[in-house]
Every structure is written in C-alpha cells, then in structure tokens.
Structure 1
Amino acid sequence: MKKWFITAALIAFIAWQLINKPSPGAEVDAEELLKMLATDAEVVLLDVREPDEYAAGHIPGSILIPLGDLDRSERLKEIDPSQKIVVICRSGNRSEFGQQMLMDMGFTDVYNLTGGIQRWTGPIEVE
C-alpha cells in the first residue's frame, strides 16, 4: 500500500511538471523569415546582439537593443505588443532568451530566428 501511494505521488508530480512546463515560443528559420519579410511589411526585426556585433553585419531594417538592455529599453514602448517581432542574435541562443523576456513583458507574436545571423541567407548591412 505504501509503495502504491509513493508511486502515485511520483506520477502525479511528474504529470504536474509536464502540464505546467512553459511552452517555447515560435521559431522561424532564415528561409521562412525571407518569405515573411516579402509579405508582411509590419514585421519588427529586433537584434539583441552587442553594438560591435551589430555594426559588423545585421539584417537591414533591424533594431538594435542588446539583450542586457531589453528589459529597460525605451524603444520597446514604440512597438505595439501585438505586432509580429522576430528576435535575432548570432546563433539563436540569446534571441531565445530575448523572445522569452518579450513574451513575459506581454508581447504576443514573438519569433526566434533559429540559427541566428549565422544562418541568415538574405542581405546584410554593415556600418
């Protein structure tokens, strides 16, 4: 009887953890982003890399807000929380954190560019 209770409690705990696991945000690859940009002029491209990385090459029209500044940036107030946003970094890791931060702040249509700028096949702008 005691073993059964412990087993049932363990199963309930695991089920609870799976049910309450936050769902990851949406992802978009370079090819999908190119198509998105061709059909939706309202997409906000948000680059969360550092200024020197951004200057070395970024997607034209993207906005730079380094990940460390994202939670206190005044520029975010200019973006409608329901607007489609694609978060970009070098490899897709920092942008995933940025995506989660934006969703936590109430932004609802946020994508992570998988593979980051390293996998981007479209035009690059250098400053």
Structure 2
Amino acid sequence: MKGNRIRRMKWIWLMAALLLAGCAPKGQSAEESGGETGSCRQISQEEAMRMMEQDDGHIIVDVRRQEEYDSGHIPGAILIPNESIGSTQPEELPDLQQIILIYCRSGNRSKQAAQKLADIGYANIYEFGGINTWPGETVTEDILAEP
C-alpha cells in the first residue's frame, strides 16, 4: 500500500518535470529553474484569464497560422505565427519587458515560441497552452471600440 503511494508520487513528480521542461532554458533542467526561467513561465488558462483582466500593459499573442487565427482567437490577441519567430525581435513586440501572454491551438507551438522569445531576451513570457481548451470568449474578428 505504502509502495503504491510512493510510486504514484514519483510518477506525479516525473510528469510535472516533463511538463515544465518546455520552458526551461537550454542547459538547465525544469527542476533547476523551478519550472520557471527568468523569462518564460507556464501558467493555467484560468490564471491567464485573471491576468487578461488586469490593466498592466500586457499583450496577448496567438502563434498559430493565419487561417487558424481567422477561424477564432482570443479577443485582443495579435497574430505572430510561430514559424515567423526567429532569432531577432519581432517588430510587433518592441518592448522586451512587456508582459506577453502566449497561446496556440494545443500548447506545443506556444511552448516553442515562448522559448524562442526567451532566447531573444523577452523577460515576461507567460505560456498558457492552447485555444482548444480555452474556457473564455473567442472572436473571429476584432471589433475596435470607437472613440
């Protein structure tokens, strides 16, 4: 009985380490970084929703392809496809200190994009997985408020 509990705890820790490894910087394990680098952190979608309610100058980045973005995205999100992020700073993200909330369809591309942005030097990246499980609102076009 006690052996099963220990095995289960080891399994949980192993899964947590694997899950957090996507945001660990190169050469550093998720355990060493505590699941968080100085620049990239994985958060829950609920936490992302709470952050979106704040007026803190954050930006929401969708890293899917244009046709995926057009079929539905989080209100206010800008499109920067993962494939377009290289080793230089994207012009849509001029401030390396800005809070960036980043997502894709399922969470794979957003992890890749978050790591690429961290490697460029962005300091406040929050990756929250994919829109396929997003509990909040989505839109097919952004409606700008009139002055």
TM-score normalised by length of structure 1: 0.75
2:104 is matched by which residue type in structure 1? C
* Residue of structure 2 equivalent to 1:112: 127
Q: Deviations over 1:62-103 (max 9, x none)?
A: 0101111122543233xx111110111001110000000111
Q: Work out which of the two has the higher radius of gyration on C-alpha atoms and give 1 or 2.
A: 1
1:93 is matched by which residue type in structure 2? N
Indicate the structure with greater helix content.
1
Aligned counterpart for 1:21 among listed residues 20, 28, 51 = 28
Q: Which moved more, 1:45-54 or 1:28-37?
A: 28-37
- Quote the Cα distance in structure 1 between the aligned partners of 2:47 and 2:135: 11
- Percent identity for Structure 1 against Structure 2: 39
**Displacement after TM superposition at 1:41 (Å):** 4.1
Aligned counterpart for 2:93 among listed residues 72, 76, 81 = 76
Aligned residues: 105
Unaligned runs of 5+ in 2: 1-26, 142-147
RMSD of the alignment, in Å? 1.6
* Residue of structure 1 equivalent to 2:135: 121
* Residue of structure 2 equivalent to 1:62: 77
**Displacement after TM superposition at 1:49 (Å):** 0.2
Runs of 4 or more consecutive aligned structure 1 residues displaced over 4 Å after TM superposition: none
Say yes or no: does 1:90 pair with 2:105: yes
- Quote the Cα distance in structure 1 between the aligned partners of 2:70 and 2:124: 27
